[in-house]
Amino acid sequence: MFLEQFPAKERQNGWIEVICGSMFSGKTEELIRRLRRAEFANQEICLFKPEIDVRFSKDKVVSHQGNSLEARIINNSREITALWNKEKIVAIDEAQFFDAELPKVCNELANKGVRVIIAGLDMDYQGIPFGPMPHLLSVAEYVTKVHAICVSCGNLAQFSQRTANEEGQVLVGALEKYRPLCRSCYFKG
């Protein structure tokens, strides 16, 4: 179980937290929960999302449950450091869509005393580690893997099966294009 930690004001403790899992597992919901707690404690936050993610909102991070927070829209990970204004918490949603520089940017921020919270898919629809997520999982101090419920059998689901007949690794969508499955049901299909 993940225990949130809060460094003393005079210390420069930074770290990286990764929230990962399949589609519909609650990654964004957990990210928003952590950020709302930080806001309640009067901690300054900066939330980023990739420009490609316009499913629910262009300028907000929105969970499947409808909870949302304002976000800064960026095209690449280097924009994070350019837009960072010394906030103690930097959060990134849909991290799998970013470039290979994201782990370096996150490490730089953590080394400056920033709490970096990242949410993203750990695997694509083919069950292959997705984008910069494997590297981020390796360098993170804290990893939380969340699971959806398999829509076929009701077990815990860790795979995102694409139901849309479209090619390419990146296909932004929700229930109209994906469904969560457990290992057994995923490999049966």
pLDDT tens for 117-142 read: 999 999 998 899 999 999 999 999 99
Q: Let me know if residue 6 belongs to a domain.
A: no
Domain annotation covers residue 45:
yes
Measure the CA–CA gap between 2 and 142, rounded to whole angstroms.
7
| Confidence at residue 9, expressed as pLDDT on a 0 to 100 scale | 56
Residue 44 maps to a domain? yes
159 domain-assigned: no
Q: How many CA atoms lie within 13 A of 135 on its CB side?
A: 14
Phi, psi (degrees; rounded to nearest 5) at 178: -140, 160
Residue 164 counted as domain residue: no
**CATH number for the domain harbouring residue 131:** 3.40.50.300
What are the helix (H) ranges across the chain? 27-40, 78-83, 102-111, 133-139, 183-188
**Top-confidence range, 25-29, 57-61, 99-103, 166-170:** 99-103
Is 52 domain-assigned? yes
The CA distance from 101 to 109, in Å, is 13
pTM: 0.86
Residue 12 has pLDDT above 70, yes or no: no
Lowest mean per-residue pLDDT among 9-18, 26-35, 153-162: 9-18
Angle at 64 between CA 117 and CA 18, to 5 degrees: 20
Catalytic residue among 4, 51, 70, 94: 94
pLDDT for 174 equals 56
Residue span of the structural domain in which 42 resides: 15-146
Query: What pLDDT, on the 0 to 100 scale, is given for residue 52?
Result: 75
Of 21-35, 46-60, 117-131, 134-148, minimum mean pLDDT range? 46-60
In a domain, 151, yes or no: no
pLDDT of residue 104: 98
Domain assignment present for 94:
yes
Number of domains in the chain: 1
Asked if 94 is an active-site residue, the reply is yes
